[in-house]
Amino acid sequence: MAKRLFDIALVVLTAEYWLPLMAVVAIAIVLFDGGPVFFLQQRAGKDGKPFNVLKFKTMVSVDGGEPVATPLGKWLRRLSLDEIPQLINVLLGHMSLVGPRPLPVKYLPRYSAFEARRHEVRPGITGWAQVHGRNAITWQQKFAYDVEYVDRHNLLMDIKILFMTIPAAFEGGGEMEEFRGS
């Protein structure tokens, strides 16, 4: 309960900063990429329950093919600005500020029992794996960090991760390949 109250308080208290930034990014998307501004994708939440994660649209489908990142979208993704709308997911209770990143629902049957433990807590905008290499680490390393977080998390750890996220967000790490199972 304390974690949930912390999440809500921090999101509400910082709204004067992220809401204007969200508005600027939304306007930029409309001007440079055209609408729609947001992208919804079903992800696995706590206990593996599906929810729609909200992100800024950064990709377009060219001639019905695989989606590619727009020039603006590449920049938004590099700076993790495409994640800002997930603060709304936090307010709705789908996510926490800190926890294992929510992954696509299609991955659920691919997890080992160990890997599935990541769903014992609410997913987060940032997490222990993100501050230890983001997309530059393997899926096995990522899941090990996720389960370590599940076993050790507390409010002080969450605060530490939030501070560690600031420099980690600028490290990039490229795109992660699809998880195909262990």
Residue 181 lies in a domain: no
Residue 23 lies in a domain: yes
Tens digit of pLDDT for each residue in 6-38?
999 999 999 999 999 999 999 999 999 987 999
Tens digit of pLDDT for each residue in 83-133?
999 999 999 999 999 999 999 999 999 999 999 999 999 999 999 999 998
Tell me: pLDDT of 173 over 70: no
pTM of the entire predicted model: 0.90
Residue 163 lies in a domain: yes
Per residue, what are the HEC states of the chain? CHHHHHHHHHHHHCHHHHHHHHHHHHHHHHHHHCCCCEEEEEEECHHHCEEEEEEECCEEECCCCCEEECHHHHHHHHCCHHHCCHHHHHHHCCCEEECCCCCEHHHHHHCCHHHHHHHHCCCEEECCCHHHCHHHCCHHHHHHHHHHHHHHCCHHHHHHHHHHHHHHHCCCCCCCCCCCCC
Domain that holds residue 26: 2-169
Residue 57 lies in a domain: yes
Mean pLDDT of the chain: 92
**Can you give the pLDDT at residue 172?**
57
Residue 136 lies in a domain: yes
**Can you give the pLDDT at residue 171?**
67
**Higher pLDDT pick, 38 / 169:** 38
Q: How many domains does the chain have?
A: 1
Residue 160 lies in a domain: yes
Residue 179 lies in a domain: no
Residue 176 lies in a domain: no
**Can you give the pLDDT at residue 177?**
83
